[in-house]
Amino acid sequence: MSAPHLPNPNRLILLLGITAFAGALSVRVTDPFVAIIAEEFAAPPDRVALLASAFAVPFALIQPILGPIGDALGKRRVIRVSLLLLSVMALIAPFSPGLGTLMLLRALTGMAAGGIMPLTLATIGDAVPLKDRQVALSRVLVFAIAGQIGGGVLAGMLAPVLGWRGVLGLCGGVAVLASALLAMIPFGGPPEPRLPFEPVRAFGRYRALLGMPAARLLFGAVLVEGILIFGTFPYLTLLLGQHGLAEAAGASFEAGLTVAAFGCGGFAYAALVKSALGRLGQARMVVLGGAMSGVALLGFGLAPTAWLFVSAGLLLGVGFYMMHNSIQTRVTEVAPEARGSAVAMHAFHFFIGQSLGPVVIGAMIGGFGAPVALALAGAGIVALALKLGRR
């Protein structure tokens, strides 16, 4: 008997990629405008900097709710609604009369964004066989990385012309166009599995997930990644200044290049993943990624020149995505009957790690100095990769 014909998932992957791009465009778009918004609203810059947390924390906290809803109502339906809500909030945000209103709208935008990328990963888990899934996930990852980098580029290039309000509105406009595209073109791909929406049973599934050693390892791994890798990003300017690699005015430029290089590392990973999996296998690739990430973090602490510092960002991007995309792939298979819930719990831990990261890394730098703190962070990532590789 011949194997059943499975619908081609390419259109599904492309549409999900466009959705991920439109959703990611708004994630970090306020970061370059902290000083400008602070001046306009006569608010302290450190308070305005909380706009990033206002987006990230609701993104994490909404996950335990959206996962079961996606499993019950259909992940693709929730993705469509989430993108539409994100576009509405992003379009309203430029009309904020004060910082409090802007904070609220960024929080609502973060909640809406929480229904896009995690459920996108789960949707690909439903549609693509495990042997091809990591490559498929890496394709969507390229769109998401492009969106995050694109938001920063738009902010930098168009700020003198449009200001922060215009740039936020432009991001909302892109999300509206993507939302209209999803309304006109069906996702395609195989039909989705559905579970009844029963809140008590849904949270029971979370208890069952957290009771699985394999799931706890994966969730703990992304929590550690968020702390040790993304926790370093707010300190890049400080590290450059401490090394004497840039003047105060130029350190922000070098730090921006480092973050962009990290994103380019993600693109490089996506180009190499198929051959790397074929030559190394997933376990060895995870260990290699951890080793590269450890060396890169050490490079942030010891780099003698600015270009080596930026190169460490590129190396960190390649190494991080070697590990992280492998974890994502395994998470989509840890509970096939409730993928939305499993990936939601994954995203929850990852964003909680990103929220805790600056506090932990800051305390380590204050207590041990930057070189030792980053060496310890690098050693932690290597140890994590070795544990994942063995499992």
CA 174 to chain centre: 19
The per-residue pLDDT for range 217-227, each reduced to its tens digit, is 999 999 999 99
Tell me, what's the pLDDT at 10? 84
Same-domain check for residues 152 and 262: no
The string of DSSP letters for 17-68 reads: HHHHHHHHTTTSTTGGGHHHHHHHHT--HHHHTTHHHHHHHHHHHTHHHHHH
Which range has the top average pLDDT, 100-109, 235-244, 326-335?
100-109
Average pLDDT, the chain: 86
- Contact residues for 270 (Cβ-Cβ < 8 A; gap 6+): 138, 139, 141, 142, 321
245: helix, strand or coil: coil
> 182 with 253, same domain?
no
Q: Tell me whether residue 197 is in a domain.
A: no
My answer on whether 172 and 315 are in the same domain is no
Cα–Cα distance measured from residue 186 to residue 192, given in angstroms and rounded to the nearest whole number: 13
pLDDT value for 1: 39
Instruction: Kindly state whether residue 364 falls inside one of the protein's structural domains.
Output: yes
* Domains of the chain: total: 2
Does residue 205 lie within any of the structural domains? no
One domain, residues 279 and 339: yes
Q: What is the CATH number of the domain that holds 89?
A: 1.20.1250.20
CA–CA dist 374, 365 (Å, integer): 8
177 shares its domain with 280: no
Q: Is the pLDDT of residue 6 over 60?
A: no
Q: How far apart are CA 362 and CA 359, in angstroms?
A: 5
Structural domain span for residue 155: 7-188
Position 156 scores a pLDDT of: 66
Q: Which of 188, 221, 236 is the last residue of a domain?
A: 188
Write down the H helix ranges in the chain.
Answer: 10-24, 34-41, 45-48, 51-61, 63-73, 75-92, 99-113, 117-127, 130-184, 199-210, 213-228, 236-243, 248-302, 306-334, 339-368, 370-390
Q: Is residue 61 part of a domain?
A: yes
Are both 24 and 69 inside the same structural domain?
yes
Map residue 348 onto helix, strand or coil.
helix
Q: Cα separation of 122 and 357, whole Å?
A: 26
Q: Residue 297 above 90 pLDDT? A: yes
Interval 62-84: pLDDT, tens: 988 888 888 888 889 999 999 99
- Specify if 77 maps to a domain: yes
- Averaged over 325-354, what is the pLDDT? 87
Domain co-membership, 250 together with 162? no
Note whether residue 367 is domain-resident: yes
List, for residues 86-112, the tens digit of each pLDDT value. 999 999 999 999 999 999 999 999 999
Go through 99-109 and write b for each residue having 16 or more CB atoms within 10 A of its CB, e for each that does not.
beebbebbbbb
Measured CA distances, 146 to 18, 51, 136, 309 (Å): 10, 21, 16, 22
Q: What are the φ and ψ backbone dihedral angles of 171, each rounded to 5 degrees?
A: -60, -40
Do residues 179 and 252 share a domain?
no
Is 2 a member of any domain? no
According to the model, what pLDDT value does residue 299 have? 93
Distance CA 321, CA 29 (A): 22
Q: 163 and 229 share a domain?
A: no
Tens of pLDDT along 378-387? 999 999 999 9
Kindly report the pTM of this predicted structure: 0.82
pLDDT at 5 over 50: no
209, 269 Cβ separation under 8 angstroms: no
Judge whether residue 235 has pLDDT over 80.
yes
- Give Cα separations from 26 to 66, 121, 164, 320 (angstroms): 20, 19, 12, 22
Q: What value, to the nearest 5°, has the Cα angle with vertex 116 and ends 112 and 121?
A: 155
Q: Look at the block and give the residue holding tokens 């339906």.
A: 77
Residues 309, 353, single domain; the answer is: yes
Query: CB neighbours of 331 closer than 8 A, spacing ≥ 6?
Result: 121, 215, 218, 342, 343, 346
CA 120/CA 12 separation, integer angstroms: 10
> In the prediction, which pLDDT does 244 show?
67
pLDDT interval class at 176 (50, 70, 90): very high
